[in-house]
Amino acid sequence: MVWDTSPEIVNLGTFHLPFPVAIWGIIVAIIAIFYSYPKIIPEEKSQQQSSTWKFWGLIISAFIGGQLIFLIFPSPEIQQIGPIRFRWYGLLFASSFVIGSFIMHHMYNKAGFTQEDLDRLLMFIIVGTVIGARLGHVLFYDFQLYLQNPLEIIKIWNGGLASHGAAIGILLAIYFYVKKYEKMSFFWLADRVVVPVSIGGALIRLGNFMNSEIVGQPTDLSWGIVFARRPDLSMVPRHPSMLYEALLCLFIFAIIWYIYKHYENRPPEGAMFSMFLVTLFGGRFFLEYLKHQQAAFATGALNMGQWLSIPLVAFGLWLLFRKVKWSTQIDNKNLK
C-alpha cells in the first residue's frame, strides 16, 4: 500500500491582526481564566444566563488585562495568524478529549459526582496533557535544539509531542486535582482516567498515521506501507507502527473496561491503572524495535522510548502485585 493522503483537512490561509499581540499576555490570560473560572461562575442552574455573561466577561477582561501588562514589560509578539491549517491530527487529538469527557461523565455519575467535578478535572487533564507532552518532547528528544531556541518550546503547532511526557503530565494533573478537592483517592481517579486515555491514545496514533510520522522499520510483509510524503524514508515499505500502537490502545481499553464492568463499576483500587501501565508501556517497549529511530539517544540495544517505558512498567507491576486487593471491592461512599 502507498500512503499519500494529505494531513490537512482544509487550509484557510493567513489572517493579519490589526495590532500585535503579546504571547506572554495570552499565557497570563489563560492562567487567570483557569484559576478564576471556578470562583466566579455560579453552580446553580437558575443562574445559567448570568453565567454566560460572566464567562465571556472573564475571557475578554483576562485577555485585555494580559495584553496591558505587556505593554510595559517586553514580550515576544505575533502579528499574523496562519496560515490556519485544520489537520486530521488536531481533529483526532481534540476528539479524544470530547469522547473522554462522555466516558468520564458516565463513570462520575455512577460514583455520585457532579458535572462541576468533571469540568474541573477536564481542565486539569487538558493542561497536564498538553504541557506534559510538549515538555516531554523537549526534554527527551530535542533538548539541544530547544536549548538553543527556547521560544520554539511554546510553538506546539510546529509539532513535537511525547506520549511519555503526556503520561507524566496526566499523573501530575490527577495528583493536584485530588489534593485540591480531596473528594477521592489518587488511584480511584487514575483507574477511571485511563479508560478515556486508552481511547485517546488510539485516536492520536491514528493522527500520527495521517501525518506519516512515527513510522516503522522497512518490512517485506504484505501490509507494509510506502509513506509517499516522506521521501527521506527512501520510498520502501515499512511497518505501520503507529497503527500497531492504535490497536494496542484499543486492546487495553477492552481489558480495563472489562475489569470495570466485571466489578460492577467498583473495581479494586489501582487495578485498572496498574494494568494500563503494564500493558501500554510494556507493549511500547517491544514495539519500539519496529520503529524508525526518532531520537539520537540510545544506549546499547535500547532507545529513548524504551528507557522511558521501563520505570512505568516497573511501577505498574509493583502496584499490580503488591497494592491491588483483588479480593475486595471499593465502596464509592468511602473514597478517601
Better-predicted residue by pLDDT, 197 or 336? 197
Q: What is the DSSP letter of 268?
A: P
**Confidence bin at 245 (pLDDT 50/70/90):** very high
pLDDT value for 43 = 53
Interval 51-65 mean pLDDT:
85
For 136-162, what is the mean pLDDT?
Answer: 73
How many CA atoms are closer than 13 Å to the CA of 233, on its beta-carbon side?
25
pLDDT at 249 over 90: yes
| Pick from 7-16, 202-211, 289-298: least confident | 289-298
pLDDT > 90 fraction of the chain, expressed in percent and rounded: 48
Distance in angstroms (rounded) separating the CA atoms of residues 111 and 185: 13
Contact 72, 3 (CB under 8 A): no
Give pLDDT, residue 153.
74
What's the mean pLDDT in 245-271?
A: 94
**What is the rounded CA–CA span in Å between residue 82 and residue 10?**
12
Give 42's pLDDT tier (boundaries 50, 70, 90): low
Distance between CA 100 and CA 165 in Å, rounded?
Answer: 19
Which residue, among 127, 155, 129, 153, has the nearest Cα to 142 in the 3D structure?
Answer: 153
Nearest C-alpha neighbor of 239 from the set 279, 197, 193, 286 = 286
pLDDT of residue 250: 97
Average pLDDT of the residues in 276-301: 82
Supply the pLDDT for residue 48.
Answer: 53
Q: Is 205 annotated as a binding residue?
A: yes
- 335, pLDDT greater than 80: no
Q: Are 150 and 182 in contact (CB under 8 A)?
A: no
pLDDT of residue 45: 46
DSSP 3-state of 89? helix
pLDDT at 302 (0 to 100) = 83
pLDDT at 208 over 60: yes
- Residue 174's SS3 state is helix
> What average pLDDT does range 269-276 have in this prediction?
95
The lowest-confidence range among 39-48, 55-64, 79-88, 174-183 is 39-48
- Which of 19-28, 35-44, 56-65 comes out lowest in average pLDDT? 35-44
Select the more confidently predicted residue: 137 or 166. Answer: 166
**How much is the mean pLDDT over the chain?**
86
Q: Is 60 exceeded by the pLDDT of residue 332?
A: no
Q: How confident is the model at residue 196 (pLDDT cuts 50, 70, 90)?
A: very high
- Among 46-60, 114-128, 184-198, the range of highest mean pLDDT: 184-198
Tell me the backbone φ, ψ of residue 13, rounded to 5 degrees: 80, -160
Q: Please write down the long-range contacts of 306-309, taking CB distance under 8 Å and 24 or more positions apart.
A: 308/140, 308/164, 309/164, 309/281, 309/282, 309/284, 309/285
